Chain A
Amino acid sequence: MSGIVKAFPGVRALDGVDLEVRAGEVHCLLGQNGAGKSTLIKVLSGAHQPDEGEIRWQGEEIRLTTPLSAMKHGIATIYQELDLVDGLTVAENIYLGHELSSAGFAHRGETQKQAAALLARLGHSEISPRRELGTLSAAGKQVVSMARALSHDVKLIIMDEPSAVLDQEEVARLFKVIRDLQSEGVAVVYISHRLEEIRQVGDRVTVLKDGRTVATGLPARDTPTRELTRLMTGRDIEYVFPPRVSRDGDGTVVLSVENLASGRAFSGVDFEVRAGEIVGLAGLVGSGRSEILETIYGARRATAGTVTVDGKQLRNGRVRAAVGAGVGLCPEERKSQGLLLDEAVYRNVSLATMGRFSRGGFINRGSEKRAASEHVKSLDVRPTGVERAVRTLSGGNQQKVVLARWLLRECRVLLLDEPTRGVDVGARSEIYALVRRLADEGVAVVLVSSEVPEVLGLADRVLVLREGVVVHTGPADDIDEHRVLDLVMEGSAA
């Protein structure tokens, strides 16, 4: 690909990008949120038409007018926003658009058999090909998405942040699949914000910044982190966690969770969070971490146990009670759970705080916008205009908008579910610093993340979960990544 230009109304998302991928290599794309990575691969997969530039495939210039024409050339894509259909079965999703059929009649048995084979290859034979997709967790859907890409006879697979919803075990399995593909001569374009993944699996790196290629063909394993982040952000960034302020025992208990349980998702969860403390929840995907947060927040009914904030017990199953008591939740799936995509950024930011800017029900838009702008700036959301519809922001920037909502709210308790999913390195350290700053200001934070280093690095105390049960509780300093992984796998070792 060379000289690719793609403009959206008001944004030049790609402004002359070059990318060269060789057969059998894993080519990583790096760039900040909004740098244009997803847009680039959408051009490559035929979903977007470039305004300028040319694409050469095995030496010949081609035009990819539809996703179908890309597939015909052997290009398959796993999109960042899971693009699957809830109402269909797993097998049907995998073969959607290239169904195994004759004369329009689908071969269901054959489809299911082959889908099962693909899932087994990905190490997920427990997912039944006949299961309805809507009942799978986000991680399960990601696996289906991968199976979908593999179902094509491909020469190039594009993966846009496939690891974002996966835990480390899953990522390891994914890498194994990628290496298999590589040995078959298939090229992979891999996008991730996690540098360590790129070092593990990547061969060469191309870095995008503001819609332009700033470096290409860098060796993935040897290029120093500093160099990469500098290329991406244009400045030097320390990828480190902010220091903990040690203050054992002080700080009053803000949030206390006693013997909490919800259906089959989790049970017997007990913990306290003090003012200024960050408690991290680690565990595999599906271990019930999100459910714990949702139950504390009242978005899901507890079947047993109590949640107490500042000494007052919250009413079970009432989000408004939780919000009223000063609890905020950054949900896991920002698009479906967090954002009003067609609305302006400032309105999304002020959604939970409208009351503060209104008198007698009438909103003072001036002060609302000012307050929102402040937080949007402090989080470095790009582009900066608060009147822009959230839909036009890149994934990572959308995540920041959700965070800004709860910053504005000035909560007592902040529940963060995967706060850095899809967020670039630069923004990540900003978010880390921010979370720590909030804690220092006396907020009690509960953090869920699938990236164990993030939990260990940011949290003061760590709870490890396995199948809905807490198997370890202790200070983050006393435990390392391997130990967490062991706990998560074995569980009994507690």
Chain B
Amino acid sequence: FVVGCTSNEPEEEDQPAAAETGGGDDGDGGSGNDEPGETVVIGFSGPEADHGWLAAVNDSAIAEAESYEDVELRTAEGTNDANLQISQIETFINEGVDAIVLLPTDGAQLTEVAIRAMEAGIPVVNVDREFSSPFAARATILGDNHGMGISAGTYACQLIEENGIADPVIAEIAGIDSLPLTQDRSRGFAEALEACGQEVDNRVAAEFTVESGEEQAANLLQAAPQIDIIWNHDDDQGVGVKQAFDNAGRDEFFFIGGAGSANAMQWIQDGEMEATILYPPTQAADGIRLARLIAQNKGMSDLVQVEVPRRIVLNAPVVNADNVEDYLHLGFES
């Protein structure tokens, strides 16, 4: 379930955003959690915001922090170098911040330093890419990458069945191949396909950039003269992927996306895309909220539980023409 997703529009930040799905309709508005408490310093470090989704992650985190007058945010933004990110966390430890929100370039690689922060008495909220040790984070908010792959694969199976495609050709355009999250997505996709007796016929990996998406998609189209279903992991690179389809004049397949950018939602509305699997960029914003609560020793008012939970996994729902209206506001600019 999605907890306290916020919109990207800064002007809406002042009002407490409603939990979108699952949770109670009145959100956390009823509790005293949004009342200003003692000022807390939160350190936030994320990977290099080199594409739309990550930029949205950073922006929404910063906007979220700005919406609280009792939060002072220190950002150490922007690196794909674990060594540098470790040193950024060390800086936070030196400064003695009250909590750290960490979206690591790689969960395992930042575990050592996160443990050190925890040992120094600074609670760490782990976002999106999970640490390899349970002692490294006070709370963990995860997008469900494996679930994303499952959703995409299941949806693909559904399409095959509904349209009665015999011997379908299934293609996959992955993101940066060496990231665990990409592998999780691909694994989920393969598992779900296996459930309906299918497998990926052609796979390429792009780099989350428009250019690489276009390049790899063009190569993919060349490699497979006829395709029935394509799953593209990431709607940012999807802009390029889509352009490659247009360039080649190919649209014989069902095109499924990932993440849920504004563009993707638009295409779904226009009928140019079948569906996209949501992967909200608001996790870090949620992380800021949790960090604030933890630092101020508060709990989550929607839960009976007194304290903030240790682990929250976000849902990865499928957005298609039937429900796109409900998700439009979540779409981020890629």
Q: Do chains A and B touch in the complex (CB under 8 A)?
A: no
A residues near B (Cβ < 8 Å) are: none
B residues near A (Cβ < 8 Å) are: none
